[in-house]
Chain A
Amino acid sequence: MSLLPNKAELLGLGRNMSRPLIVCLGLLPFIFLIAAYYFGSEARLSENPSDKVMPAFTSMFDAFYRYAFEADKRTGEYLLFNDWLSSMKRLGSGIGLAALTALVLGIAMGLFPIVKRSFLPFITFCSIVPPLAILPILFIIFGVNETGKIALIFLGTVWFISRDIYEYVGSIPKEQIVKTLTFNSSIFGLLYRVILPQIMPRLIDAVRLSLGAAWLFLIAAEAIASTDGLGYRIFLVRRYLAMDVIIPYVAVITLTGFVLDSLLRKANVVFYPWYVAKKRM
């Protein structure tokens, strides 16, 4: 057997590929992007050594090192870590509050028709309001400090998660609820032992899918009014065309998002194997 893939493995419809081949194919666009940047940057810098648009990898690394590992002369703080921590606090509070609210709302709407009828149309209406359009309102009401930013992330994600949880509660077969009642269960038993454990993996999934939107609102809020945060820094250094700072910051954001996504995915595999198996079926 040759190490190189044959034509059938590469081009056959619905073929199973070997693991190394899958990894290689997955890496291909990244290698292409990095190579294209590298040659582009080389070309521009050879023409004008003070070009700022496509800095060399070495200058990006220097900038990253400065921001990450050298204490700021004025404040004595590590800028990148500080920015990252402030952003994560906002992201965590916003989406955490949204998840908690959505859990309560979703379950209540899924179980009790009276809650569903009085909240579902309202939630559907709210989910259409573009969150960024009401950002000025939020800043006016809550001020430009943390509350306004957290409120934006909250309002940007809570409606989607609520509806998702509500729909999932509704998809739990009625037979299960009736069966629970034949065990003399109280409403708390039903919630605690039957509904909640089945909802948790779905909530984790919904939060995971909302993270992309949450990042968007976080960076937008930080760009407009803030004194720290990843988004604040990127928009601050933009004034000096500091691509050597912007690009590493974007990389940090992307990496954080990727790690969060993987962790949430992993949590479901470890704690809720039945849910992952059901989804694959």
Chain B
Amino acid sequence: MPHRELRKNNFLHIEDVYKSYGKNLVLNDIDLSVEAGELCTVVGPSGCGKSTLLRLILGQEQPDSGEILIDGIYAGGPDIRRGVVYQKYSLFPHLNVLDNVLLGIKLNPSARCTAEDRERAISYLERVKLGDSLEKYPHELSGGMQQRVAVIQTLFVHPQVVLMDEPFGALDPGTREDLQIFLLELWEEQKMTVFFVTHDLEEALFLGTRLIVMSQYYSDDKACSGSKIVTDLSIKDDKKAYSTAAKYSEDFQDLIATIRQQGFDPNYRQHVEEFNLKHTHSFWTK
């Protein structure tokens, strides 16, 4: 699809984005266009700037050049269109679980916290087995419980896009899988757009409908540093979540091996012309 059309129709549109810290170029000409309702997972080796890209979309930082549009409007600073779940510090230590979830409503000047909101928050929390912990403070919760509250806290105000920065990165494998399933349930139910950054390729493939691999390990004909998108694939054309059994299928494992080589191996330098950008919404402006 031509990028003008993508720019007009797609929900999240990133064009020609560069970002550097001092002399160190981190993002080198990022072009990315994401449809509404997509669960877009972003992986890459550490230091590839995937979290930087997330912060740019969130508005926590601004790009050096290029444009980021959300629903056709410039990203600007953080606002209610975008929700965020971090790996830590997502919860407010001085509020109990219920008040953490309700904070989003209480802070919004154009909303009022009603008894109905309270009921809704409690029913959400009961669904994720936190009904007994409403009065508890974050420091009294385990890491998995904290992240469940953090996800609900963000989704409670219905942002148009949910940005997640390695939200399950600090959890043990069992808890992690529980939360992945919990996220997929919510995503199927609410049809929201998710931008999910992780360093775990298996997690990215299991969760995503679209996989973006970013990497600083590639070659072009100039001596350029900075990460580019090296892989852009549609992984679930039907946009339905997998069952966990999919993680053990042969195709899944093959895909992991290929991507691990193309994106994560510092010695395997793919040329820019060979990038695996097969997604129909993938574009590249020169």
A188 and chain B: residue at smallest CB distance: B109
- Contact, CB under 8 Å: B90 / A175: yes
On whether A186 and B109 interact (CB within 8 A), knowing A181-B77, A197-B94, the answer reads yes
Contact B79 A198 (CB under 8 A): no
Q: Mark B97-114, 1 if CB is under 8 A from A, else 0.
A: 000000110111110000
Contact yes or no, A180 B60, CB < 8 A: no
Cβ contact within 8 Å between A180 and B137: no
With beta carbons under 8 angstroms apart, the residue of A175, A184, A281 that contacts B79 is A184
List CB contacts (< 8 Å) of B47-71 with chain A: 58, 60
Chain B hits for A181, CB < 8 A: 77-79
| Residue contact B107 to A193, C-beta cutoff 8 Å | yes
Measured CA separation A175–B163 after assembly (Å):
13
Q: Which residue of A lies closest to B109 (CB)?
A: A186
Main secondary structure of the interface of A (DSSP, over half): helix
Digit string of A176-216 for contact with B (CB within 8 Å is 1, else 0)? 10111111111001100110011000000000000000000
Check if B94 sits within 8 Å of A180, measured CB to CB: no
In this complex, what residue of A is CB-closest to B58? A178
Whether A183 pairs with B108 at a CB distance below 8 angstroms is: yes
Q: In terms of DSSP, what is the predominant structure of the interface of chain B?
A: loop
Task: List residues 92-151 of chain B with CB under 8 A from any CB of chain A.
Answer: 92-95, 103-104, 106-110, 137-140
In the complex, residue of chain B having the shortest beta-carbon distance to the beta carbon of A190: B107
Residues 77-95 (chain A) with a chain B CB within 8 angstroms: none
**What's the least CB distance linking A47 to chain B, in Å?**
62
Q: Is the CB of A183 within 8 A of B139?
A: no
Q: How far is the CB of A2 from chain B (nearest CB, A)?
A: 39
B-side contacts of A278, CB under 8 Å: 93, 139
Question: Which residues of chain B are within 8 angstroms of A190 by Cβ–Cβ distance?
Answer: 107
Residues of chain B at the chain A interface (Cβ within 8 Å): 58, 60, 77-80, 82-84, 86, 88-90, 92-95, 103-104, 106-110, 137-140, 154, 157, 159
Measuring CB to CB, which residues of chain A are less than 8 angstroms from any residue of chain B? Answer: 173-176, 178-186, 189-190, 193-194, 197-198, 272-275, 277-278, 281
Closest 7 CB pairs of A and B: A185-B107, A181-B78, A173-B89, A184-B80, A175-B89, A183-B107, A183-B104
